[in-house]
Structure 1
């Protein structure tokens, strides 16, 4: 962080299920130092410490939402304290219609952050709207994601905080077959034929993003053969789609739980295409994000 001009600080907030994780991951791809679920009361001290550090990042994004400890009604005052330090924070608020949020939770079968209160999903969403009202009222950027897919959400964030590429955008997604195939997938590859780290007690609680799981799968001959064949297919045919009218392509990998093999493959193929110079490559792990 430049002490003279101050850093770029984006506070990401909004409804659970509205795409906050996608926004935070996109900002991370843009070079932001990202912190998820920071207790709101720690924000001024967090910024002060970053500014005092010699190796502080120039751009920072912090997620503050219904999971955050403390009173969200105090956030406007906390942002004023941040502003007094010479930092001008921008608050990004994501939302979606209630019926859309209900459908997204039904599709992913994830628990709402407020479900621990013993509320129904509809009541938890209503309570979250009430808790987040003070943040929505002061939002600098308000995005309704009800009609947006993952690619469109990402492009909106790029349009607000970065430069969106004109070329074909690639999204590598992981999913669990037991929760259904992603509706917007252009290519779907089944990873259930590969060795499953789930049966290793040491690896079971981890995911395909963890180095231990990557090391295990990297050492499996079947995995190397699978990756080589899928990579060759995509290397051949994805460039030909660039001349089409489409602006993005989703490549999905599925396995039983959507945690190990599929996440590993999505991350590995994304690294490959970034190294090949594709201008916009993202990952999304439906069962993890």
Structure 2
């Protein structure tokens, strides 16, 4: 007896639950709006104690709510303290969820609150910086366990919306998104880097008068940097070393990573090497790569 293909059972619809949290002022509202634009049903300021109830509702109605995002924040500090217990309960009950954590540097968060003329929810009678310090301490373990950490220090609302769009397509999060960022050590390490590579071992084009005005995006500088003995070998070996790491990310259901490449000023060597590493990583299957140059243009 031949089974008609039209009679084969369809694959059950699986709902997706995304927990959105992070520092106040880091862009949760912008992220929520971007998710809504892509078909997610967003519940804002949900008490953590209600996560289990909502997840149970979603599991019973996967076709009605296939993509649910829940924004959890510290506006009610006493309720928020139970979020770890609520997340453990979700995992124990078999509910699959992902966590998106939004962060930004303290000085940028202070500036955003000052521009919005709003108090920080945890500052009380103190300063905005006091509230930020208290919140960062409260959220530290949560950030460490997040599936996705998006650093919004250098982002405006449009850039953040674009990042959320890239992370969450119609079919959910992409397989693996890698951000390769060049930087200058004299301006400090990128705060969201998962890996940091120091390429100051490569001769510096800054000391070549004919190359100094140009950047690692220019062909003459790129050739000078990459042709140097050791640079090409470094790029090859570094990408080879990253391949098992990226496979491990997939196994651990981690969908986002940042690789930082640094030189002294972030203008020549790190830019050229970051571009080359990004190009090599983009050739790997199911990897989406973006390349940014944090300090390009600084004096």
**TM-score, scaled relative to structure 2:** 0.50
Q: CA deviation at 1:76?
A: 3.4
Q: CA deviation at 1:150?
A: 1.2
Which residue in the other structure is 2:144 paired with? 137
Which of these residues, 72, 75, 79, is aligned with residue 67 of structure 1?
75
Bigger-Rg structure (1/2): 2
Which of these residues, 123, 128, 136, is aligned with residue 135 of structure 2?
128
Q: Deviations over 1:5-62 (max 9, x none)?
A: 5311111101111111000111111111101110011101111123334863100000
Which residue in the other structure is 1:100 paired with? 108
Q: Deviations over 1:59-84 (max 9, x none)?
A: 00001121145454543332232234
Uncovered stretches (5+) of structure 1, i.e. residues with no partner? 164-289
Whether contact under 8 Å (1:15, 1:94) holds in the other structure is yes
Cα distance between partner residues in 1 of 2:146 and 2:62: 31
Cα distance between partner residues in 1 of 2:89 and 2:22: 21
Change (3 A) 1:73 1:54: closer
Which residue in the other structure is 2:166 paired with? 159
Look up the SS of the partner of 1:90 in the other structure: strand
Change (3 A) 1:91 1:54: closer
Whether contact under 8 Å (1:41, 1:70) holds in the other structure is no
Whether contact under 8 Å (1:7, 1:87) holds in the other structure is no
Q: Deviations over 1:121-142 (max 9, x none)?
A: 1101111111111211111100
Look up the SS of the partner of 2:166 in the other structure: helix
Change (3 A) 1:3 1:53: farther
Uncovered stretches (5+) of structure 2, i.e. residues with no partner? 1-9, 171-299
Change (3 A) 1:37 1:84: same
Matched, 1:119 2:126: yes
Cα distance between partner residues in 1 of 2:157 and 2:149: 17
Q: CA deviation at 1:159?
A: 1.1
Whether contact under 8 Å (1:72, 1:131) holds in the other structure is no
Which residue in the other structure is 1:186 paired with? none
Q: CA deviation at 1:93?
A: 0.4
Q: CA deviation at 1:110?
A: 1.7
Cα distance between partner residues in 1 of 2:100 and 2:141: 13
Cα distance between partner residues in 2 of 1:54 and 1:67: 29
Q: RMSD value over aligned CA atoms?
A: 2.4
Which residue in the other structure is 2:84 paired with? 76
Which residue in the other structure is 1:149 paired with? 156
Which residue in the other structure is 2:52 paired with? 44
**TM-score, scaled relative to structure 1:** 0.51
Whether contact under 8 Å (1:72, 1:134) holds in the other structure is no
Q: CA deviation at 1:85?
A: 4.0
Cα distance between partner residues in 2 of 1:69 and 1:40: 11
Look up the SS of the partner of 2:18 in the other structure: strand
Look up the SS of the partner of 2:14 in the other structure: coil
How many aligned positions are there? 161
Cα distance between partner residues in 1 of 2:80 and 2:131: 16
Cα distance between partner residues in 2 of 1:113 and 1:72: 12
